[in-house]
Amino acid sequence: MYDLKIKNAKIVDGTGLKPFHGDIAVIDDIIVERGKNLGLAKECYDAEGLVLCPGFIDVHTHYDAQITWDATASPSLDLGVTTAIIGNCGFTIAPCKPEHRELNIKNLTKVEGMPYNTLKKGIDWNYESYHEYLSLLESKNLALNICSYIGHSALRIWAMGEEAMQREARDDEIIEMEKIVSNAMRSGAIGFATSTFEGHNGTNGIPMPSRFASREEISRLIKAMAIDGRGIFMLTKSNNTEIKDIIKLLGNVDRPAMVAALLDNPMKKSWAYNVLEDITKAQNKGYEIWGQVSCRPLTMEFTMNEPYMLEGLLAWRDYMIQNTVEDRKNILKNQKFRKAVLNEILDTTKNKLFVGNWEKIKLINTKRTSLLKHLGMNLVEIANFYNKEPFDWLLDNAINDGFDDLFAAELLNSDNKQVQKLLKHKYASIALSDAGAHTSLLCDAGYAIELLSKWTRELKVFSLEEAVYNLTGKQADICRIPKRGRLVPGYFADMILLDPNKISTSAAYRKDDLPAKSDRLIVDSVGIKEIWVNGVNKNKNTAGKLIREYLS
Ligand SMILES: [Zn+2]
């Protein structure tokens, strides 16, 4: 007698092979049989007309903090993600000494847009070392499976204190970090993650700690990661880092590298694709490198209090270091400052988040009656109305008490033709949900559903089996996650039952359910009937696992 049987399903098994009609049987947390007319089970679902596929593996999330107060990683599990990888870009909250908690919180508030009061109230700090952090997660009754990187920025703060955001590390500090990375791997980290990306700034706009690291430091930490011949090197790369530089960082370490974030940039059309082509060349030479791409346009909601899209600009730093509203207004009035920022925005030699396409920014909310008539209009339209340049209007508006006006910017990755080329690339890893981060700016946690709805059902860019493979089996292979991502006997029963004609997400909406009542953007799934994690229906019980063992 089986514990669970799903019968009459169209099974898309995560291997990329053609779907077939049949049953899947589970005992405990393992798939034990698949075929037609399988025997009796304690629990049975008739899945006629529905698709059964593996749960999605979201390789780029930032649930490090949230998972300590919300073991369901909301909303990801409800959107079909049964395994999430945390610690991307190196922005972990472990290891962390008590005296560094405040700095880590302030950095996360800035770099990942997590509300300060939420982190202050929400994080369970019942750990110091990385090992203790993993044990804490294990004690949390996780509702989905979690894999965790050891993160470079938290590691530097542990070893160097505040100087982590001022300078390169000394040899003795690197030695200490090497030990922690190796120990973290032995405790069950999936790999080592870091960022050299210009847009990654911490408290007061100071670059995140990992951005102060020398190449030697990063190389030595990759080596420390690979101590037992395991581990994924995850890098969110600087605009100036090329694939050949990553090969140099890897040196003679024969481990896979995951590179983020390859988004289509309307002003630099072939940039992301060219990186993938460089990755192909590296793969052909034996270096296993993967490029993280996204199937969603990068849309961010922002106010001029914290315009994330400008925060990667060197010239914008002068704004970020101001403490009072008056000081902020003064710097915004400064014509030299305006000119420097605008020049940097319009400099097309660099790949940036925002490249001056003002028509892609819309006013979506304001409390000021004088502005109501412009709701829904883009910056070019509004600026024309006042006979101004868009950038000048945006800053003038902030100065005139418009700091809280809410804008939405469609920044990158919105050209379907270009994005399709990225998604279909052999060495692309479809990811970049950033789930758990930028909670009030965006919600891309439903990216996997969008691959199945928009890109598969509507645009027919993928067959269903190909799309599912990209979200499941392929990710498990890249990340060396054992026995997940495929519906085959011997594998863990992480499964989703869905209606292929209905699967989609709701429009994003706001909900103030974070600790300290901060609000966030959230989406719901449509067309997902059931979700099982390790053989257990998510509505009945929590059965997620902290994954600590990986393939080499
Ligand atoms: Zn990230």
Compute the CA torsion angle 75, 80, 85, 90 (nearest 10 deg): -40
Strand-pair partners of 2: 41
Rounded distance from Cα 312 to ligand 1 centre (Å)? 14
Give CA–CA dist 459/468, Å, rounded: 15
Binned at pLDDT 50, 70 and 90, residue 312 comes out as confident
Q: What pLDDT was estimated at residue 534?
A: 98
Rounded distance from Cα 528 to ligand 1 centre (Å)? 27
Q: How many helices (H) and strands (E) does the chain have?
A: 17, 23
DSSP string, 374-388: GTT-BHHHHHHHTTS
Rounded distance from Cα 332 to ligand 1 centre (Å)? 29
Q: What pLDDT was estimated at residue 191?
A: 98
Give CA–CA dist 213/217, Å, rounded: 6
Give CA–CA dist 99/101, Å, rounded: 6
Binned at pLDDT 50, 70 and 90, residue 267 comes out as confident
Per residue in 212-234, pLDDT (tens digit) is 999 999 999 999 999 999 999 99
Rounded distance from Cα 376 to ligand 1 centre (Å)? 29
Rounded distance from Cα 222 to ligand 1 centre (Å)? 19
Q: What pLDDT was estimated at residue 441?
A: 83
Domain ranges, ordered by start, for the chain: 56-297+413-445, 300-409
Binned at pLDDT 50, 70 and 90, residue 327 comes out as very high
Which position has the higher pLDDT, 347 or 427?
427
Q: What pLDDT was estimated at residue 82?
A: 98
Rounded distance from Cα 99 to ligand 1 centre (Å)? 25
Rounded distance from Cα 259 to ligand 1 centre (Å)? 11
Q: What pLDDT was estimated at residue 306?
A: 87
Binned at pLDDT 50, 70 and 90, residue 411 comes out as confident
Q: What pLDDT was estimated at residue 410?
A: 86
Q: Does 113 score more than 90 pLDDT? A: no
Rounded distance from Cα 374 to ligand 1 centre (Å)? 33
Threshold 0.75, pTM exceeds: yes
Rounded distance from Cα 41 to ligand 1 centre (Å)? 42
The average confidence (pLDDT) of the chain is 96
Per residue in 38-68, pLDDT (tens digit) is 999 999 999 999 999 999 999 999 999 999 9
Rounded distance from Cα 112 to ligand 1 centre (Å)? 8
Q: Does 286 score more than 80 pLDDT? A: yes
Which position has the higher pLDDT, 346 or 349?
346
Q: Does 476 score more than 90 pLDDT? A: yes
Rounded distance from Cα 195 to ligand 1 centre (Å)? 9
* Phi, psi angle pair for 389, to nearest 5°: -75, 145
Rounded distance from Cα 498 to ligand 1 centre (Å)? 28
Token output for 373: 């008539």
Secondary structure (3-state) at 241: coil
Contact of 4 with 497, CB cutoff 8 Å? no
Cα–Cα distance list, 84 to 132, 134, 265, 488 (Å): 19, 14, 27, 21
Contact of 194 with 90, CB cutoff 8 Å? yes
* Residue in 547, 443, 551 with CA at minimum distance from that of residue 148: 547
Task: Say how many C-beta atoms besides its own lie within 10 A of residue 439's C-beta.
Answer: 22
Mean pLDDT for 252-281 is 93
Q: What pLDDT was estimated at residue 357?
A: 87
Rounded distance from Cα 237 to ligand 1 centre (Å)? 11
Rounded distance from Cα 331 to ligand 1 centre (Å)? 30
Rounded distance from Cα 60 to ligand 1 centre (Å)? 6
Q: What pLDDT was estimated at residue 337?
A: 97
Rounded distance from Cα 434 to ligand 1 centre (Å)? 5
Per residue in 269-285, pLDDT (tens digit) is 789 999 999 999 999 99
Rounded distance from Cα 114 to ligand 1 centre (Å)? 12
Mean pLDDT for 301-317 is 90
CATH architecture of 56-297+413-445: Alpha-Beta Barrel (3.20)
Q: Does 238 score more than 80 pLDDT? A: yes
Rounded distance from Cα 194 to ligand 1 centre (Å)? 10
Compute the CA torsion angle 50, 529, 445, 298 (nearest 10 deg): 50
- Which residue bears the tokens 């067309």? 527
Rounded distance from Cα 431 to ligand 1 centre (Å)? 10
* Residue in 77, 78, 190, 62 with CA at minimum distance from that of residue 114: 62
Rounded distance from Cα 193 to ligand 1 centre (Å)? 10
Per residue in 416-451, pLDDT (tens digit) is 999 999 999 999 999 999 999 988 888 999 999 999
Q: What pLDDT was estimated at residue 308?
A: 85
Q: Does 73 score more than 80 pLDDT? A: yes
Q: What pLDDT was estimated at residue 354?
A: 87
Per residue in 134-179, pLDDT (tens digit) is 999 999 999 999 999 999 999 999 999 999 999 999 999 999 999 9
Q: Does 348 score more than 80 pLDDT? A: no
Rounded distance from Cα 501 to ligand 1 centre (Å)? 31
Cα–Cα distance list, 319 to 18, 238, 322, 334, 389 (Å): 55, 22, 6, 11, 20
Rounded distance from Cα 269 to ligand 1 centre (Å)? 22
Helix (H) or strand (E) holding 8: strand 2-11
Rounded distance from Cα 87 to ligand 1 centre (Å)? 8
Q: Does 350 score more than 80 pLDDT? A: no
DSSP assignment letter at 19: P
Q: What pLDDT was estimated at residue 74?
A: 97
Rounded distance from Cα 355 to ligand 1 centre (Å)? 20
Rounded distance from Cα 543 to ligand 1 centre (Å)? 26
Rounded distance from Cα 3 to ligand 1 centre (Å)? 38
Binned at pLDDT 50, 70 and 90, residue 349 comes out as confident
Rounded distance from Cα 380 to ligand 1 centre (Å)? 30
Rounded distance from Cα 65 to ligand 1 centre (Å)? 13
Rounded distance from Cα 235 to ligand 1 centre (Å)? 9
Pair type for strands 525-526 and 504-505: antiparallel
Rounded distance from Cα 261 to ligand 1 centre (Å)? 8
Rounded distance from Cα 92 to ligand 1 centre (Å)? 11
